[in-house]
Structure 1
Amino acid sequence: MVKPALSIFKKEIAIELRTRYALNTLLAFTGASLLLILFTLRADQLDPTPKSGLVWIIILFAAMTGMMRSFVQEADKKTWDLLKLHAKPSQIFIGKLAYNFVFLLVLHIFTIFFYIIMMNMVIVDVPFLLSAIFFGAAGLASVTTLTSAMIAQADRRGAVFSVLCIPLIVPLLLILTSVTRTALIEGVTDDAYNDLAALIGYCGVMISAGIILFDFIWED
């Protein structure tokens, strides 16, 4: 399973390094969103809890802008059937998931780093913040990868992608907001470990569901 999945991961990296379309688009979108929120909404004067959730809303819309292309480009470039010939569905899903995870991890680090600087916030608990970044990227990558495959050959992909993604991502955003509040504002409490366990569990469930269901999505 590992070798074909790694080949697909390398292919995605090579395409992105050659075009840099998604990376440049998402970084520009994220930077503009951060500046807009800071200067228009005066977000630096908000209460601590809204501050903790606002960064994930920015990341969510940035991810939904770029991650839809994961399988859509296969349909547009007529390489859908070629992938079927060279790899099993589970291998394709893992390869695409690995690429989306790395891509979103870079986006999360960039966004949260500049968000903390612009909002003049202090990191109270570094391990919890790193956990939020890592598992947030994993959870978001699992949802967007699976949803992108579902709508790749549909009409009006953008609208369908948003409709399918948002209900799956809302629980993740709520958990990430709580974990981020712990990392940046409150510090570790007994409830904080429950939130972290819920975040890890969400990622495990979504990745497992993706591997199990992707066979049906890919063949149909």
Structure 2
Amino acid sequence: MRYAGNKVEGEGIDRDTDTDSRGAEAPAEPTAPQTENVQQSESAEAGQNAGAEEDFSHQGVEDAAEGAGSVASGKIYTPVDYKGTVKVNGEVKDVSRRVYQRNDINISYFDETTGLTNLERMQAGKPPIGTDGNPVELHHVLQQEVGPMAELREVTHQQYYSQLHGLVGNGASFRNDPLLNKQYNNFRYNYWKWRASLITGGK
């Protein structure tokens, strides 16, 4: 895995489960990403009003933050550009994208179900536990694979499901394409491991 500026390059994996078929591989030591904080609220995160829904889906989190009514304002997101590839059925796929990372994840939180801290969960390719007590979910902002993503609490993702997934018709989800679905699952596994490496400095 290589990291340069706010761009990250990572070697992908080809797998059907959460097991890395290549075996554990220590990530390269990354440098601090060049990012900017995004003013955001929980209402903006979900696209609570009509304007915010459109902005969140079409223009990204920054615009939604400006147009949505604030419930609990704060710096929730930091945008980071991920650069990497995965293998799908032996073919290398570019899965580079922008991800809006949450700033409220407690890396020391202990998950009694798995016996792992949030940091250890990410190091294992699993999502951390959010402030709602559930695993953080990655939302496709434009509902395209590949496309920009935002780390959402499960409760938000479910409560505003129809608003957040209104860009594609029934049956048109990329998840109905086995290759795209596998591509995303491989990316997601790599992404959380990379997310942890940013915190630990690649250790």
- TM-score, normalising length from structure 1? 0.31
Greater RCO (CA < 8 Å, at least 6 residues apart): 1
Which protein has the larger Cα radius of gyration, Structure 1 or Structure 2? 1
Q: Choose between structure 1 and 2: higher strand proportion.
A: 2
